[in-house]
Chains A and B, each alone.
Chain A
Amino acid sequence: MSRTDEPAEDEPAADERQGSEPSAEVRHPIEWDEAPNNQKSADERQAISKREEKNDARKIVTGESKYTADYAPNFPDLAEAAVLRSEIAHGYVTEIDTSAAEAMDGVYAVITPDSETVPDRKYTSAGQSYPEPSPWDLTILRRKVRFVGDPIAAVAAKNGDIADRAIRAIDVTYEELDPVLDPEEATDPDAPRIHDPEEVENAQPGADYERNVEAHDEGEIGDVDGTFEEAATRDDWVVTETEWKTPYQSHCVPEPHTTIARRDQDDRIHLVTSTQVPYHTRRQLSHLFDVPIRDVRVTKPRIGAGFGSKQSMLIEPITVALMEAAGRPVKLETTRREQFYALRSRRPARVRLRSVVTDKGDIKALDMSAVTNSGAYGPHGRTVTGSIGTKPLPLYTHTPNVRFEMTAVHTNLPVGGAIRGYGAPQGHFALEGHMDEVAHELGIDPIELRSRNLIAEGDLEAVSGITMKSEHVRRIRSCGLDECIAEGKAAIGWDEIEQPEEAHLHRACGVALTAQKSGVAGDELGAAHIKMNEDGSFILQTGAVDIGPGADTAMAQIAAEVLGARSEDVLVQPSDTDISPFDYGAYASSTTYVTGSAVKKAAEDARDQLLKFASRMLEEPADTLETRDGTVRSERTGESVTLEEVGYESIYGDEVRAQVMGQASFSTDESPPPFGAQFADVTVNEETGEFEIHKLVFAVDCGVAINPDLAEGQVEGAMHMSYELATSAGLSFDDDGTPETLGFRDYGMPTTADQPPLKSILVETYEPTGPFGAKSVAEIPVNGVPPALSNAIRRAVGVRVSDLPITAEKIRAQLDE
């Protein structure tokens, strides 16, 4: 399978080539041709605004919810697996002696890169749409190892204990190479080279493997250099330069990655696996193992959360290869240690920012450059690093001159991947920290400075496409930032902070504004199918992948709103590639917006069909009927029939029989940003640098929230991860690149005892392109705590911590200076 050279987004639009296109203002009108029933006032809504119980809540609390590992008893001859991983950061495996492992009782198969069932093809672990923008730089098992954690061999055995012992009995001889662990050093011409360009298929721009660069890209709007030159000649323009660093962050998914692979009764490959991307996994496995897509089936059971971790195809290929070698079903359940060092993490970043701002506070130029540490391989390298600029910079879209430059660099450390926020947290830390530095320099209130320059409804925004080669603009049709700021300020007590009596304690609030997207513009597909049962209930099938947040419940509520049914009468089937309509999967904050739109359309299709039956039954025109509370009623006559009566009529009626079945696909070039304002209230001890966070508040504009309980859950959970990034994230390694963070205790994930109270505020706006006005909410709250906390500390004691995590030691070190 070969790949096209360039992502489609970089091709010039057809009308551009002809040179006679209408202006962007005309092509992206503020008005949106939405369905007439899309916008409903709060009291008109029947289903979407209810705090419905999550549809699997009772299964979860009784322990009956089944995750991948819980399916093991379904497969009586199931083998258990373990993986041998590289113990060195860089080198070659020159010999693998598996004889002792193979001789052990209960060992069914041992595979190495030389095994017949292990294809040598290249692939990427990034579960992205086709063709994947990430480089194909991985093989299933590896002879050249590039970080401590690279898989070398794997074992399937009667039980996990035997598999672990067999792994320890494999003897590996290495030829070691010098590792490079620092992204700055890695680009030095004399640094060890990690990849051979001949061995990688990389369609990303700017790759230069001689310097360990996997991707480099840049874009500019206006004239940045010219603005800085002018600033040098003017007293009333202020230049500010800052630099920011962010560390590795682990997803800490509760359920370790787990896969069960087997051959089904038709000899097809069937996986039950903890994935966010069943369809991408099916396609990527089919390419890798050279089997037709139709001969692979991926079933998604309950997932113990993803946060982007399970947007990567990490253990599925090993499990399939082992299953083929062992000739029986195989389960591979990763260990917590592997989760921390061998799978994927948030990539560390160094971001530099320069700005020109007038003394009145108008931003003239922003110049951002980001270098990220990809680790040993390149999944999501360009797309995450690009998002460091393209997600936050639109906040100040009125800036006439903007430049963004990005570089993703390989080292012999763990691999960066997709993780909640997708580059935006690194970018917001830099941009929103920088804004406070500018405010400080100008002596302007930090909120006032932001408000002068802020994006607003009606804006035509181009910065999110700054690295694209063709013109890209986005019309902002909903923006509740002003209200987010006002409500957040009130909730944190911005204007009422009282200083502690002790002279060495200083209290202050900090703020940071945030933006994200709702799906990947022009690169999504969600599809839905809904059918009506005789009893007036519905079966809804989507490929949407509920990985925990309650997407299935939200989908049922959207369908119920359209159909006038009760949400609990819409049963949602979990995604399974044999059964569900297609879906790109759970990533990029797309599910509610993209799949939710498909569900709405499919439900409208079904409603039109059921209204025809109701029309015959009530002898009234369909367009005069209304569905509500499980009934269809005629406004004129006041007569009604229940959905159950309609269901029976559709299937057993005397006149016309036809099952009510609605279906729809949804794809869009739109990706409206949700917005939010993060606030932190902190007291800092100027003698010790210790700080106490009294409260974190995040006010979010996610359009119309579908099920406020679920939306608040997203805000609180993401704020927890944001708090961790701010105060404790990071992986540590010794001088050889051997990981030292191997468990929750080493890592220091926040617990109930050390996490400050979190408050979520939902600010409603109406997004005309979204289902019933909804935008995304799952990722945006992960962006704000690092800058808001750093800004609060700056305001409290005058110290700027620009290198995450923020610790008492770093604050004290600066106070001591």
Chain B
Amino acid sequence: MDIDITLNGTERTFEAQRSDSLLDLLRRNGYTGTKRGCDTGNCGFCTVAIDGEPALSCVKPVATIDGTEIETIESLGTQDDLHPVQEAFVDNAALQCGFCIPGMIMRSRSLLVENPDPTEKEIREALSGNLCRCTGYEKIIDAVQDAAGRMGEEGVAADGGLVRGEGE
């Protein structure tokens, strides 16, 4: 079957099997930044955004995503020009093995778009579906708090105070 989606801003058509998940489709087509941790929707490593909402791509059958807009970690910054959330994770040393990080960053970005100034409790609630085994979460919480400040600043600078200011 053919699946038409807007992937990271570009309209694309992919060939897929009915049994494929969105994660299968992404990884098979070279979007390997999205990681497979459990295939049962329990770890959050495969988090992407579907129509702006965070979603677990490993439990999303391809048949249900036709016509949607998908954003993956590859849609954010580059190594030389990081997105504020990515920058905050780097600057706060909020990563070790890194396997959970693309999903964690996608989830954090969605949170901050929705809620530009979350409390620590709100961050902890929002990230509770994204596991990390290396960091003990401490520096990740710091990074998301830091990212909130950075996105706020960029938002003001880029588009006059609109919340969705991600420097895109």
Contact = CB atoms under 8 A, between A and B. Distances in A.
Nearest to B96: A548
A53 B98 contact: no
Contacts of B42: 336, 743-745
A305 B97 contact: yes
B131 A63 contact: no
A460 B37 CA distance: 47
A69 B36 CA distance: 9
A60 B135 contact: no
A255 B134 contact: no
Contacts of A255: 35, 37, 97, 99
Contacts of A749: 131, 133
B124 A61 contact: no
B9 interface: no
B95 A57 contact: yes
Given A73-B30, A751-B131, A63 B90 contact: no
Contacts of B19: 161
A67 interface: yes
B102 A63 contact: yes
Contacts of A256: 36-37
A717 B73 contact: no
Nearest to B87: A61
Contacts of B93: 51, 53-54, 57, 709-710, 712-713
Contacts of A758: 136-138
Given A336-B39, A752-B123, A755-B137, A64 B33 contact: yes
Interface stretch (B59-67, B78-86, B148-156, B158-166): B78-86
A752 B140 contact: yes
B115 interface: no
B168 interface: no
B51 interface: no
B33 A713 contact: no
A67 B99 CA distance: 8
A69 B99 CA distance: 12
Contact of B97 (A51, A161, A548): A548
Contacts of A550: 96
A66 B79 contact: no
A62 B135 contact: no
Contact of B40 (A304, A718, A721, A743): A743
Interface residues of B, number: 56
A735 B126 CA distance: 38
Among A60, A65, A712, A749, the most chain B Cβ lie within 10 Å of the Cβ of A60
Nearest to A161: B19
Contact of A753 (B30, B102, B128): B128
Contacts of B136: 716-720, 755, 758
B40 A59 contact: no
A335 interface: yes
Interface in B97-151: 97-102, 105, 123-125, 127-141
Interface in A211-254: 251-254
Contact of A61 (B82, B132, B141): B82
Given A254-B133, A304-B98, A58 B82 contact: yes
A536 B141 CA distance: 38
A455 to B, nearest CB: 27
Interface residues on A, range: 35 or more
A307 interface: yes
B134 to A, nearest CB: 5
A792 to B, nearest CB: 19
Contacts, number: 176
Contact of A254 (B78, B100, B123, B139): B100
Given A70-B32, A336-B40, A752-B128, A61 B138 contact: no
A254 B45 contact: yes
B101 A60 contact: yes
Among B40, B96, B130, B140, the most chain A Cβ lie within 10 Å of the Cβ of B96
Contacts of B73: 61-63
Nearest to A160: B24
B135 A713 contact: yes
Contacts of A720: 133, 135-137
Given A749-B131, A751-B129, A755-B137, A63 B74 contact: yes
A253 B34 CA distance: 16
A786 to B, nearest CB: 16
A256 B40 CA distance: 13
Contact of A717 (B33, B105, B135): B135
B133 A743 contact: no
A549 interface: yes
B134 A548 contact: yes
Interface in A134-179: 161
B167 interface: no
A62 B97 contact: no
A235 B164 CA distance: 75
Contacts of A64: 33, 79
B13 interface: no
Contacts of B82: 58, 61-62
B65 to A, nearest CB: 19
Interface in A709-746: 709-710, 712-713, 716-721, 743-745
Given A57-B90, A62-B73, A304 B97 contact: yes
A720 B135 CA distance: 8
Contacts of B35: 67, 254-255, 304
A752 B119 CA distance: 13
A757 interface: yes
A45 B92 CA distance: 22
Contacts of A753: 124-125, 127-128
Contacts of A745: 40, 42
Contact of B79 (A59, A70, A304, A709): A59
Nearest to A333: B36
A63 B99 contact: no
Contacts of B139: 712-713, 716
Nearest to A302: B98
Nearest to B38: A336
A729 to B, nearest CB: 13
B70 interface: no
Interface string A753-797: 111011010000000000000000000000000000000000000
B32 A752 contact: no
B98 A752 contact: no
Given A60-B98, A61-B105, A716 B135 contact: yes
Given A716-B139, A758-B138, A61 B95 contact: yes
Contacts of A70: 32
Contacts of B134: 254, 305, 548-549, 713, 717
Given A54-B93, A254-B45, 5 more contacts: A58-B90, A61-B90, A62-B78, A255-B99, A751-B131
Q: Top 4 closest A-B pairs, CB basis?
A: A63-B33, A548-B97, A60-B98, A716-B136
Interface of B: 17, 19, 27, 30, 32-40, 42-43, 45, 72-74, 76-79, 82, 86, 89-91, 93, 95-102, 105, 123-125, 127-141
14 contacts: A60-B98, A63-B33, A63-B73, A66-B32, A254-B133, A255-B97, A302-B98, A304-B97, A333-B36, A336-B39, A744-B38, A751-B128, A752-B137, A758-B137
